[in-house]
Structure 1
């Protein structure tokens, strides 16, 4: 009986070691693809590692990095959250919170990004990039709130006769995008409209603020 038990334990241990070896191979291969900037293939490879071991911090964190490079920020955030759940190490938690904050910044959810950056800095104050992005997030949140307030005021105003119906409709569409925090899309919409209709210029202040928010968002590290 003891021999049977020992045999079963040996088999299970062998399977465990084999699985860990496979996971490491997938992660290493993903790292090679990532270094070559083949982020799509890297993401697929990291995902295999996550499937083999759903508790692997390296697999989830690297998967998040690859998704971030593919501009799939919501999915990247999900992967970073899984990574965060699978490490007790404070430094790795700080690193992951910073990455998660960046994913929220790209989604223009500045409040959430600010909260994550602050938590990251509490765990590791020696992060200049995190402090830099935190200061940007605070500025962007201020601009966002001002933009939303201005949009609400503009909606309450009577339509001005010198502005064409096309321009008025364009502004309403841009306001709807602002309400969804899609500032870059709103700026592109107004900029394109300006090329078609000069009366869109009446919304110059609105367009300038959208441009500023878009530029700040693009400069995020």
Structure 2
């Protein structure tokens, strides 16, 4: 019995030592993560904000990143944009900066600000060109911009149907010139190349799975007696 009590006391002492080694900053982050996993984003954001307050003159990149995520989950996209913009500019960690730009793009996208979203995704891909999720978001946002431009062009053309042919010609010319000079968005060639490589690798992966499935089917067929 005495030996058992000694073991328990020793165990409790070790736990207290380990807990004492965790900084208040890290402890608040862990508490925030627990709330976040339970989808209690308000409580999580409070914990992350407290964690940031624990870091006086030291970087709080992890807490700021998680804080931005919790605010995003609360659908406060304006505030999330501010948090991710500040983090992307202040952090020296390339990985965190890339993730901050990615989530900045997501925040702009939710506000339907596709041009700023595209720029944010582009910055993320400059830092991490192989990020498949950012590649997809970049392509999707580019498509949204181009679709919107085409829609605007169609609307401009339809508004001019009751005017004279000469006026239509002049207005359509000026409209197209304005779109070409002010609204034209060029997809970055390097990013496009990476997106196409990703799509190609996915396609090859699917084809490989199909081939393996066919091989198994054929192998099973050969083992059956045919009489």
Q: Do structure 1's residue 46 and structure 2's residue 48 form an aligned pair? A: yes
Q: Deviations over 1:135-179 (max 9, x none)?
A: 100000112223334445566677xxxxxxxxxxxxxxxxxxxxx
Among 130, 135, 145, the residue aligned to 2:134: 130
2:27 is matched with: 25
Relative to the length of structure 1, the TM-score reads: 0.57
Q: Do structure 1's residue 140 and structure 2's residue 144 form an aligned pair? A: yes
**Larger Rg: 1 or 2?**
2
Question: Is the contact made by 1:56 and 1:83 (CA closer than 8 Å) also made in structure 2?
Answer: no
Q: Aligned pair in 2 of structure 1 residues 79, 156: CA closer, same or farther (>3 Å)?
A: same
More relative contact order, 1 or 2 (CA 8 Å, 6+ apart): 1
2:217 is matched with: none
Question: Is the contact made by 1:60 and 1:82 (CA closer than 8 Å) also made in structure 2?
Answer: no
Superposed displacement of residue 125, structure 1: 1.2
The 1-side partners of 2:141 and 2:70 are apart by 23
Count of residue pairs brought into register by the alignment: 140
Structure 2 runs not aligned, ≥5 long: 1-19, 163-227
Structure 1 runs not aligned, ≥5 long: 1-17, 159-221
Q: Aligned pair in 2 of structure 1 residues 156, 30: CA closer, same or farther (>3 Å)?
A: farther
1:183 is matched with: none
